[in-house]
Structure 1
Amino acid sequence: MTFSSFFQSLQPSRLLSLNLRPLCLASFTLLASCSLTEIDHSNDFENNGRDVTALKRDSLYLQESLPPGLPYPDNSFQSGLAQQIKYLNRIKDKDYLLENTQTSVADLRLVAQEVDNWLRNPTQQPKLIAHQLAGQDKRGNVQITGYYVPILPVRHQPDDVYRYPLYRKPTQRNAEGRFPSREEIDFENALAGQGLEIAYTASLVDNFFLHVQGSGVIEYEDGERKLLSWGGVNGHAYRSLGKVLIEKGEIDRADISAQSIRQWLSDHPERNREILSTNPSYLFFSEGPQNPVGAANVPLTPLYSAAVDPNVIPLGSILLAQVPKLDHYGNLIGHDFRLLLAQDKGGAIKGPGHIDWYQGIGEEAHFHAGQLKHFGKVWLLLPKNPMPEKLIAK
C-alpha cells in the first residue's frame, strides 16, 4: 500500500474522533530521557500490525508525494516544534548521508519552518516531500514501542526496605578499562563507598526498569521530587531481558511486554539475580532540570516526541508516522497518523526498524508505553528545495 493510499483509506470522521482534523494539501496540505525500550522481545506475534503485502525494496528510504490530507496536531505539538526550532538554530550546520538520501541541518530547519507556517496558516501549502523508512524487513514495517518517565519512591538514606542505590557515573574504571557490569554493581557492591549514591529504592527490579526507560522522577519521603537524567552507561553490551525470557521458555513470545517481564520477576524473586545479570549493561544517572528533556536537549512532548537512531533519522527531524491504535487490553484495532518530533535516542534504538514513542510521566503513561510493541510506518519529511539560510527562532 502506498503512502497516499493510506490516507485515502482514512475517513474524516475517523480523524475527527481522534481530535485531529484533516487538512487539504491543496490549501496544505528536562532530564535526558535516552529511551532504552527493547525491540527484539516482540517482533513476531498475531495481529502485530506488520504489513505483509508491502513490496520489498533495497534502499533505506523511498521517496513519495505528500498525501491529500494530514492530521492537524494540538497545541502541545506546537510547543514542541518551537523547542525543536531553537535546537536546530543552535547546532552547527552539517550534512547527513542516509544511504540513498542526503539531507542537512539547513534542510531540517526549513522543514520545521514549513510546518510552523502551516500550523499558523493552514491554507499555505508546504514545499515538502515524504521519504518512507524501509524498516528492518525492507518492506516499510517499523516497530513502534513506547516509553515514559516513571515516578519512583526513594529515600535519602538506606533502611531495611529502601536499600538499593541509584548511582551517578563513576570516574574510576576497572583493570580492563571498563566500568563494572550489572552483576558486579547490583550483586557484588562494586560501587559501594565511592559516594555515588543519589537515592535508595525498594527494588532492584524498579531500578532495572528505570534503567530501561533511561530517566525518571524520584520522590523522597518528604515529598521532594527530582528528575533523573541519563548520565552515561558502563560500556557493556545491552541484552534484551524479554529475549532472554523467551529463549528460556519462561514467557511466550506473544505475551511478552514490560508488564509481563515485571510480573515474572515478581513471581520468581529467587531468579532475579540470574535473569537481571544476563543484561550486563548498566545506566548511571545525573540530577537534571525540572522538565524531561531528550537527547536533543529540548523538553519532551508527550505523544509527539520520539526516540530514534540518529544514524538513520537525524535528531531535529519531523516525521509522519502511522502509529498503532490499541484497545484497553493492548490489542491492535487500527492505526492513526500523527506528526512526531525526533528529539531523543537510546541504547536499544538501533537501525531503521524501530522508533520509541514518548508517552509522558507517571502510571497512565506507563500503562500505554508497556502495551506498545506493534508495527507501523514512518516517513521522514524533507524539503523539495534545500535552503541554507538559518531560521530565526520565533
Structure 2
Amino acid sequence: MNITHILQSFIPTQKNNRSIFYSLCITSLSLLTISCSLTEIDSSNDFENNGRDTTALKRDFLYLKESLPPGLPYPDASFQNGLQQQIAYLNRISDKQYLLENTQTNTEDLKTVANEINSWLQNPAQQPQLIAHQLAGQDKRGNVQITGYYVPILPVRHLPDEKYRYPLYRKPTQRDENGNFPSREEIDFESALVGQDLEIAYTSDLVDNFFLHVQGSGVVEYEDGEQKLLSWGGVNGHAYRSIGKELIEQGEIDRADISAQSIRQWLADNPDRMRDILSANPSYLFFSEGPRDPVGAANVPLTPLYSAAVDPSVIPLGSILLAQVPKLDSYGNLVGHEFRLLLAQDKGGAIKGPGHIDWYQGIGEEAHFHAGQLKHFGKIWLLLPLNPSPKKLIAN
C-alpha cells in the first residue's frame, strides 16, 4: 500500500475540524522555513533515520479525526483469532464511558468497531463504517514511538544452587511503615524479600530477570522440562525509569545504538556498575503463574505482530488501531513503514501518554531480536464508529 496515497486520502470530516485543519495549514507555512525543534521529542529518541515525520502539521489536540483510508491492510489468519478474543473481552466487561480529551467513546462503540472489522474480514468488499482518530504523538505532529516486546523463554530451577540463585517473585503482602514496597535495589541487592516465601523460580542471571520485568511476562522452563508462563502480577509502585535513557544521558551508549542487545552488552562489559544502572529504575515487577499462552492486561492471549501494549487512558483496552509501523532491515535500520491493524490488549509501566506503544513480537529468540531493534517512530489511528450512539457519549 502506498503511504503517500493513504495519508493524502485522510481528510478531516467535520466542519469544525476543517477550520482547525486549514488554520494549521496556514500556521505550518511559517514553520517550513525553520527546522523542527529537537525539544519536541525526548533527546534519547532523537537519532538519525528514526522514522519521524518532521513535516507533519502540529496541532493542539490529542486526536485528529480523519476519514478512513480507502483500503485497510488485510491481516493474516492469526489476526482473526486475536479479534475473536478481543470480541470476547468486550462482551464480558461492563459498559464503560471513555472521555479521551477531545474524543469520547464507550465499550459499546468498541464492540461496534470489532464487529465492523469482523464483517469486513468475511466480506472485504464491504467497507467498514469507521472513522480514524490520529494520535498527536510524542511531538504533537502524529509521531508515536513504536517499540517492541516479546515473551522470553528462561531456563530456571525450582530451588537455588550456585548458578541459579536469582529469584523471580510473587507480589508481597508486607509493606513498610509508610505503606510502600521495597525498591529494585532493596529487592535485588539487599534481599528485602527473603524469608517471605515469595520465590517462584530461580534464574542464572539478574539481567535476565530485569528484562523479564520490562517485558512483563515470560515462559520459564524448569530442569525437568516443565514450562510455565509467568504473567504480570503487580508492581512495587515506584516510578519507572528507562535504563537505556540513563546510559544515553551518562554518555555510555549513543542514542542511535540503544537497544536491548546493546544494553545487555554494556552490562556484561561493566559488571562493577551493574548495580547502579539497574537500580536507576526503582520500579519492580512481580509475577503470577498462569496458563501456557501469554496473556495481556485484557486477560486474553496475545497475538504475535498484532497485539499492542498501550496507555489505557489514551487508548482503551479492546480498541482496534490502524498503525503505520516501522520496517527494519536485519541490522535494525529503518527502511520504510507499512500499515497494519493492531489490537490494544495489553499495557505496560513504561507506556504512558500518546507518544508510545509497545508492539508484541511473539515468543522466543527471533521475537527477542526483532523486539530489541524496534525504537522508531510511526503513526497510530484509533478506529471508532462512523455513527456512534449519541446516548452513550458523555455530554460536553
TM-score, structure 1 as length reference: 0.89
Closer/same/farther in 2, CA of residues 184 and 264 from structure 1, 3 Å limit: same
Aligned pairs for 1:1-394 (under 5 A) are: 4-5=6-7, 42-387=44-389
Gaps in structure 2 of 5+ consecutive residues: 11-40
Q: CA deviation at 1:125?
A: 2.1
Q: Distance in 2 between matches of 1:314 and 1:228?
A: 24
Deviation at 1:5, TM superposition (A): 3.1
Offset of residue 3 of structure 1? 7.9
1:130 and 1:381 in contact (8 A); partners too: yes
Shift of 1:281: 0.9
Quote the Cα distance in structure 2 between the aligned partners of 1:332 and 1:7: 24
Q: Secondary structure at the match of 1:69?
A: coil
Deviations 1:74-128 (A, max 9, x none): 1000000001001111111111111111111110000000000000011212211
Kept in 1: contact 2:327–2:337 (CA 8 A): yes
Whether the 8 Å contact between 1:41 and 1:256 is mirrored in structure 2 is: no
What's the CA shift for 1:387? Answer: 4.5
Taking the aligned partners of 1:330 and 1:7, their CA distance within structure 2 comes to 30
What are the Cα deviations for residues 192-251 of structure 1, in whole angstroms up to 9, with x where unaligned? 111111011101111000001011001111111110011111111111101111111111
Residue type at the aligned position of 1:204: L
Rounded to whole Å, the distance in 2 between the matches of 1:161 and 1:389 is 61
Change (3 A) 1:40 1:208: farther
**Aligned mates of 1:5, 1:172 — CA distance in 2:** 53
Q: 1:270 to 1:200 in 2, by over 3 A?
A: same
Distance in 1, matches of 2:49 and 2:202, equals: 41
Deviations 1:231-272 (A, max 9, x none): 111111111101111111111111111111111001111111
- Counterpart amino acid of 2:7? S
Mapped contact 2:137–2:356 kept (Cα < 8 A):
yes
* Residues in 1 aligned to 2:383 and 2:170: alpha-carbon distance in whole angstroms: 38
Residues 146 and 377 in structure 2, CA contact (< 8 A), matched pair in contact too = yes
Amino acid at match of 2:186: E
Does the residue aligned with 1:116 lie in a helix, a strand or coil? Answer: helix
> Residues of 1 paired with 2:120 and 2:151: CA distance?
31
Q: Is the 8 A contact 2:9 2:67 kept in 1?
A: no
CA contact (8 A) 2:326 2:377 kept: yes
Q: Report if the CA contact (8 A) 1:87-1:316 is conserved.
A: yes
Output the amino acid matched with 2:343: L
State the SS of the aligned residue for 1:379: strand
The alignment partner of 1:148 has SS state of strand
Per-residue CA distance 1:34-74 (angstroms, 9 max, x = gap): xxxxx968411000000000010111111111112121101
In structure 2, what is the equivalent of residue 20 of structure 1?
A: none
Structure-2 change in CA distance of 1:4 and 1:243 (3 Å): same
SS in 2 for 1:207: helix
- The structural deviation recorded for 1:6 is 5.8
Contact 2:44 2:248 in 1 (8 A): no
Code of the residue aligned with 1:276 in structure 2: it is: L
Q: Is the 8 A contact 1:133 1:380 kept in 2?
A: yes
Q: For 1:117 and 1:387, how far apart are their aligned partners in 2?
A: 19
Greater relative contact order (CA < 8 Å, ≥ 6 in sequence): 1
Residues of 2 paired with 1:142 and 1:389: CA distance? 32
Quote the Cα distance in structure 1 between the aligned partners of 2:43 and 2:289.
30
- Counterpart AA for 1:278: A
For residues 6 and 203 of structure 1, what CA distance do their matches in structure 2 show? 50
Give me the whole-angstrom Cα distance separating, in 2, the residues matched to 1:6 and 1:91: 37
Aligned residue type for 1:124: Q
Over aligned residue pairs, what C-alpha RMSD do you find?
A: 1.8
CA distance in 2, matches of 1:229, 1:357: 17
Task: Kindly provide the amino acid, as one letter, of the partner of residue 206 in structure 1.
Answer: D
AA aligned to 1:118 is W
Given that 1:40 and 1:243 are in contact with CA atoms closer than 8 Å, whether structure 2 keeps it comes out as: no
Bigger fraction of residues in helix:
2
Contact between 1:245 and 1:251, CA under 8 Å: does it hold in 2? yes
Cα shift at 1:7: 7.0
Q: Distance in 2 between matches of 1:5 and 1:376?
A: 13
